[in-house]
Amino acid sequence: MSSELFSTKQRILGAAEALFAQHGFAGASLRQVTSAANVNLAAVNYHFGSKENLINEVLRRRLDELNTQRVHALRSAVTRPDCCLEDVLDALVRPTLELSGSEQGGTAFVRLIARAYAEHNEQLRKFLHDHNGHVFKEFTAALAQLLPQLDKQELYWRLDIVSGALTFAMADFGLIKRRGSIEQHRDMTIDHLIKFANKYLPRSTDPVYARQVFPQTVLGAGVMGAQIAAHLANANVDTILFDLPAKDGDPNGIVLKAIERR
């Protein structure tokens, strides 16, 4: 491929990556991509054939490298005799979030991956499954060795929730305001995410043990309360949902009555 054709293709990929990260895959048009890349539509069709193929190439060009880094970090960790859960989690989390500090569009790509997981697009999900499936199989196998108390289904559920937390961190729209440099914020995010997963993943599935740690959790029966309750129930935490009074009444009294009924 000539340097001119290579440059054209890379400009299209770079422009598409930035626009998809900003506006979403459906929200960014090919016209916007060609304008940002300073090419015509024929160039996009020549190199990629369709918008779907362009999206796949945008994801593939960095995802393959990211997965290589993840697998290398994981295999290095599990060969150490003192390998622990935190080491495996570090191999999963750190390469992903460190990519956000890359000077060559890493921030846009990390947000792009978060969008790809969040958007309800079956073709995107199939692409991500095909390209990430083998990586998560290796991580699941490593975690299963370290967490023998969890059956396969429970491990999948917990890893899925941790992956959701990672996706949220990748999107960078959390409530924590940045303090210091981007690198400091990124390192704090990595540290807190690993600490969270390190505590959450190995929790016992024994309901008696769970009640000893968290005797009862009381949540309002709104949408968010129900969502949180679903995660807690998955971890066998005793959970109470209650409705607040519309106008009058003592909310604390309602909570106490709900607990008494248990």
Domain boundaries, the chain: 56-202, 203-262
Specify whether the CB–CB gap between 191 and 142 falls below 8 A.
no
Select from 66, 135, 59, 131 the least CA-distant residue to 95.
Answer: 66
Type of residue numbered 228? I
Q: What angle do CA 133, 19, 100 make, to 5 degrees?
A: 55
The whole-angstrom separation of Cα 149 and Cα 142 is 14
Specify whether the CB–CB gap between 84 and 146 falls below 8 A.
yes
Q: What's the CATH fold of domain 56-202?
A: Tetracycline Repressor; domain 2 (1.10.357)
* CB contact set of 201 (below 8 Å; sequence gap of 6+): 85, 89, 143, 147, 150, 158, 159, 162
pTM: 0.69
* pLDDT tens string 43-59: 999 999 999 999 999 98
Q: What's the pLDDT at 207?
A: 52
Mean pLDDT of 141-158: 93
Give me the percent of the chain exceeding a pLDDT of 70: 69
Select from 18, 8, 20, 19 the least CA-distant residue to 46.
Answer: 8
Q: Compute the mean pLDDT over every residue in the chain, rounded to the nearest whole number.
A: 77
